Structures are given as structure tokens and as C-alpha cells.
A and B are shown apart, each in its own frame.
Chain A
Amino acid sequence: MATVEYRRIGKSYGAVEVLKELDLTVEDGTFVVLLGASGCGKTTLLRMTAGLETISAGELSIDGKVVNTVHPRDRDVAMVFQNYALYPTMTVRENIGFSLEVAKKSKAEVAEMVENAARVLNLTEYLDRKPAALSGGQRQRVAMGRAMVRNAKVFLFDEPLSNLDAKLRAHMRVEIRQLHNRLGATTIYVTHDQIEAMTMADRIVLMKDGSIVQEGSPDDLYDRPNSLFVAEFIGTPQINSLEGRIVDDGGSPAFETGGIHVALPAGYGAHTGRRVICGIRPSDVTLDPDGPLRGTMSIAEKTGADVQFYVDIDGREFVAVAPRASYVSAGTTLAFAVAPEKLHMFDAETGRRIEL
């Protein structure tokens, strides 16, 4: 099968540098999710992998072979386009079956594979329609179907579920994972959806302005974000960040901001006096009357099993997640505690994680 390797890959449109010296290895058979803000270069990277965009600098190899100048046709890559790129004059059936037709599969074989894909995608009743007569979500599923019938070395998905409703999305997540398990093909998957990223990925690659900020397993990125940017990007609701300094609290280190003292693991003693940003995940705190994080709660949002409290701590908004049973009405003063090992400390200037 195929390992995809990016070696100092760069892409510029004239003077605009979209990707900068990007290094990444996608191991054979892994499911990699690309995350990043809009415009950071995810689509560009996928299109370069597929051969639809020239490579301005660096070396791309698939399966150990440098493919910088290999024609897209010969790369054996399947792709779900962000804008679907369906064949407008073909029916859904022909759209899905086109690659099979090209591969000279028998009529019966094509029909069977297309119907199977259509069944999985709930498209059976639309098989004879043209793309113009489909809704956005239906078109997106046709685009998925086109990739699903392929048996390619590498699969590229560019936000393939962005237009589907929550239920269909959950269903498709499972289908895509199963497809991946069945084919074992190397997969690069772009999404904005945290749940998709966390549930589907073997590895997550987080990008910012054309470079990779952090690469690792979903747990790595969630538990050990290497910068404030990563910490703020991964996890919903977003991590709380409090700016302050590390102080010595009677022999053990603590984080101090505006009269609030939160105990830190002993290792941070070496950084006493440093200006830091303390990241606290909303789900890492527990309601505790003696807790150090205290403030007036302004909004309580029920999200199903949980309740989200918006608390004014030292003039800043702080979000905490608690079990629904702890719901109280707005205006109450709440206090939270957090285990020292759950705290993330970042340098106030650089935003980089302070390692213990």
C-alpha cells in the first residue's frame, strides 16, 4: 500500500506563499485528519497530493516514489472535492460508476457496486437524477459515492460531510471508518468538525497559515497541546485561558491571577516568576465550594447531559461544564476546583507549552 511523504513542501501563487516548508509523513494505512482555520491551506495540500496543483517547492512521494511530476491519472488517488466536482451531464448512477467504467469493469459489476454505494449513502431513489436536481447534501453524498467505489492507494476527503445533518453525519462517520478498515488505504481527511477529527483520526495534523503546528494522536493534541493555539483549537467548548504568573505559594508553585491562586504540580517551581497563560478545559473543572476559581455565574446553558456555566472570574468569562444535576439559575456564585495535572501552562509571550 502507500505511505505519503511530504518533504519541505511549499506552494506559492505568485508572491502569495500558501504552504511553507511543510514536512509530514502519513504512514501506510493510517487515517490522518487535517485540521485548521479556513484558508490555512488544507485544500491546497490535498490538491497537490492528487496532482491537481503544481508543487512549488519540495518533494512529494507516494509509496516511496517521488510523484511531483506524475500525472493525476497515474497517482491512483481518490478524492472527494470540497465543491463536489460532479459530472453535470451524468446521472448519479453514471457519476458513481464512471471510474469503474474507465477501469473496464463489467456492466453487472458496475451496477452492483454502484447500487451498494447508493444503499450505504441513502441515494438509491436518486440514482437516475442529474446533479442539478439534487440538494447540497445529496450532491455531497454522490461525491462520497464516487470515492467509495474506488480501490485507490490514497483517499483524500475534503470536508466530505460538511453539508449533512447530524444524524446522517454520524452514520457516514461510521461508514467511512469501515471503508477505511476494509480497504486499509492511506486516508487524508479534512474537516472542521471536532467530533469527526477526534473520533475518526489515527493522527491529527493541525495547520496554521500554511505550516503544521502540531501532529499527533487525538489524545496527544487534546492532552498535551504544544501551544495555546492548539489548545484553543481542539476541544469544545474552547479551553479557558487566564493570563497571570507562576508564584511560590509557601514552597509549592501556584498560578496567580488577580488574587486567585491555583496550585500547580511541583515541577513548575523552576519557572517561578514567569508570565504565563494557564489553560483550563471546561470539562476538567469540578464544582467545589472551596475551589479557587470563584465567580458569579451569568448564564447556564443546558446542552443535554451537561450544563455549561458562564462564570465571571476576575472580570473574564470562564466556561465550565458540569453534570445537568448541578444546574442552578443565573446570578449564583459558583466555585470550581481543578486537579493540578489537568492544567496547561503556556508562555505568555510565545504561547508555547511549558514542559515539565
Chain B
Amino acid sequence: MKLGVLSPDRPFIWMLPLIAILIAFTIIPLFYNIWLSFHEYAPFKRALEPVGLKNWSLLLSDERMWEALGTTILYFVVVLTAEVVLGMGIALLLDTEEFGFGFLRTVLTLTLVVPPAIVGMMYLLIEDPEFGVLTYVLDAAGLLDKATPILSTASTALWGVMLADIWQWTPFMVLIFLAGLRSLPPEPYEAAMLDGASAVMTFRRITLPLLNKVIAVAILIRGIDVFRMFDYVFVMTSGGPGTSTYTLSLYAWQQTFSFIKWGYGATLSLFTLAIILIVANLFIYIAKVRW
């Protein structure tokens, strides 16, 4: 068969669509963003003006940026830890051949098909100070009275948002860990039983080392997502009360679209990207993740 220019001997042709997509949606926006970070929109001139390094020096002295970074890091650490620990715990409970557990494993995928913004809305209702279930339960348990609405109290708002994230994404961790657990060989576990090892010892010395790559990849995928989190705060608190739940993404959004500071918004998003790239690659190096 004559394929001419489409012959498999000329791979370049076949890679062209992918390269085109990459260029259009990744490379160009990235470079445009970099270019943008050295400019700023001047409303009275209705044009972009070069401002040199001004945006970058502003970034470093911007107290709101540092606060947003702090919020993001707190959110990142708490949410990721909770999702990994809960995810592993639930995965261990569901890792069995017993009747009915297959159904439970299927049910777990349900939270993943709901758009995050909708989950945000759900938790807005659940945490509503007047008729929210969570508010009611916490109130009844005497932990939090109705006078302190969860999402509009500076000290609790971020935790209220975290709850939505943890609820939606823990099942994702469960599914990844389950896939890992179910692919483990049974023999070492049999040997460990005969060696007299307890369940905790077996988990620590056998399961964890065998799963460490899976756990690392899950942390990496989820960590990148969590660090860029936008939907939940946008829907649930819009950064409030005050500025207490502004994450880096939300702050960049506000600068770009509310304050029409395109250049500074771009700078903020590039800064976020830089942090993610550095931390993620450091993590890949330390955890020895191989692709």
C-alpha cells in the first residue's frame, strides 16, 4: 500500500495534530502569560503597557499575596493529608472479596462525576447557618453554636471549604489505593502471617513499601490539583469573610478579572506554576517516582 507522505516511516506527520494542540493550548498561552507579566493594562489608554519588572517586585511585597500563599499551603497540607490517610483507611477496609464490597467500590466513583462547583453548592447548603445539616449536628453536639456560621466566620470558613474537597476527592484516593492493593501479591502476606506479624506490622513493613510508588503518584496528581484549587472557594466563600479564604488561584482571578490587572494576574499565576513545578519535581526526585 502506498501511503506517500502518511507512511509510518515519517512519524512527524502523525505527531502534527498533537503538536498543534500543544502549541495552541499550552505553549502559546504560557509564553503569552510570561510576556503579559512584564506588561500591565492601562485602563485610560485601553492598552497594555510594558512595565518591566514592576509586577514581580510588587508580587514580593504584596501582603495579600503572602496571605493567600499561606492559606493555600494550609489548605494543601490539611486536605492532602486527610485525603491520603482517609483514602488509605477506606481502601484497606474495602480490599476484600466479601459479597457486596464490589458494589461499595462502584458507589465510590459517584462523587467523582459531580462537578466541583456543584459540590461547593451542596456544602453551602450543608453548612448553612439556618438549616444546614452540619450546623445542626455540630450545634446539637455543642461543638459550634448557630451564632458562628461556619462559612462566614474567619476561623472556620477555610475548614468548611476543606470539607467539600475532602468529601469529593477521598474516593479518588480510595480508588487509586484499591487498584494498588488489589494488584499486590498474596504470598508475602501469607509469609508474614506465619512469621507472626500483626496487622499493623504487616501494613507498615509490607503494604506501605510495596505501595509507595502508587501513593507517591496519587499524592503528586492530587497535590497539583489541590494547590491550584479554585472552584470550592469561589462558590462557597468567594474568598471571604474578609480575605481569609483567598487562595493563590482565587487571588489571581480577582486581580485579573475584577481589578482588570491582567499583567499582575499573569504574574500571580506564573508564580503559582513555578511553585508547583519546583515542589512537584523535588517530590518526584525524593520519592523516586518513575514514569
Residues of A within 8 A of B (CB): 50-52, 71-73, 75, 77-79, 81, 83-90, 98-99, 102-103, 146, 150
Contacts and interface: CB of A to CB of B under 8 A. Distances in A.
B206 A102 contact: no
B193 A89 contact: no
Contact of B191 (A51, A75, A146): A146
Contacts of B52: none
B191 A87 contact: yes
A75 B210 CA distance: 26
B188 interface: yes
B197 interface: yes
A102 B201 CA distance: 8
B194 A77 contact: yes
Given A72-B190, A81-B187, A102-B201, A87 B196 contact: no
A50 B193 CA distance: 10
Contact of B194 (A78, A86, A87, A90): A78
Interface string B36-74: 000000000000000000000000000000000000000
A78 B185 CA distance: 20
B193 A98 contact: no
Contact of A98 (B185, B187, B192, B209): B192
B190 A81 contact: yes
B193 A72 contact: yes
Given A50-B194, A102-B201, A150-B195, 9 more contacts: A52-B190, A71-B193, A79-B194, A86-B187, A87-B192, A88-B188, A90-B209, A98-B197, A99-B196
Contacts of A102: 195-198, 201
B196 A73 contact: yes
A50 B195 CA distance: 11
A103 B187 contact: no
Contacts of B206: 87, 89
Contacts of A103: 196
Nearest to B201: A102
7 contacts: A71-B193, A72-B190, A72-B193, A78-B194, A79-B194, A88-B188, A102-B201
Contacts of A99: 195-196
A99 B195 CA distance: 5
B203 to A, nearest CB: 13
A81 B197 CA distance: 17
Contacts, number: 60
Contact of A88 (B192, B196, B201, B210): B210
Interface residues of B, number: 17
Contacts of A75: 194
Contact of A72 (B194, B201, B205, B210): B194
Interface of A (DSSP majority class): loop
Contact of A85 (B188, B197, B209): B188
Contacts of B190: 50, 52, 72, 81, 85
B191 A86 contact: yes
Contacts of A150: 195
Nearest to A152: B194
A102 B196 CA distance: 7
A184 B185 CA distance: 33
A186 to B, nearest CB: 15
A27 B187 CA distance: 29
A89 B210 contact: yes
A89 B209 contact: yes
Interface in B158-194: 185, 187-188, 190-194
A84 B209 CA distance: 19
Interface in B249-264: none
A84 B206 CA distance: 16
A296 B277 CA distance: 84
Contacts of A146: 191, 195
B205 A98 contact: yes
Nearest to A71: B193
Contacts of B210: 88-89
B187 A73 contact: no
A83 B197 contact: no
B188 A86 contact: yes
Contacts of A90: 205, 209
A51 B190 CA distance: 9
B206 to A, nearest CB: 6
A182 B288 CA distance: 46
Given A88-B210, A89-B209, A98-B205, A81 B196 contact: no
5 A-B pairs closest in CB distance: A85-B187, A89-B209, A99-B195, A72-B193, A85-B191
Interface string B206-227: 1001100000000000000000
A102 B107 CA distance: 38
Contacts of A78: 194
Contact of A73 (B185, B188, B193): B193
B191 A81 contact: yes
Nearest to B212: A89
A25 B227 CA distance: 65
Among B191, B192, B193, find the residue whose CB has the most chain A CB atoms closer than 10 A. B191
A130 to B, nearest CB: 11
Contacts of A85: 187-188, 190-191
Contacts of B209: 89-90
Nearest to A72: B193
Contacts of B201: 102
Nearest to B197: A102
Nearest to B189: A85
Nearest to A79: B194
Nearest to A47: B190
Among B192, B195, B206, B210, find the residue whose CB has the most chain A CB atoms closer than 10 A. B195
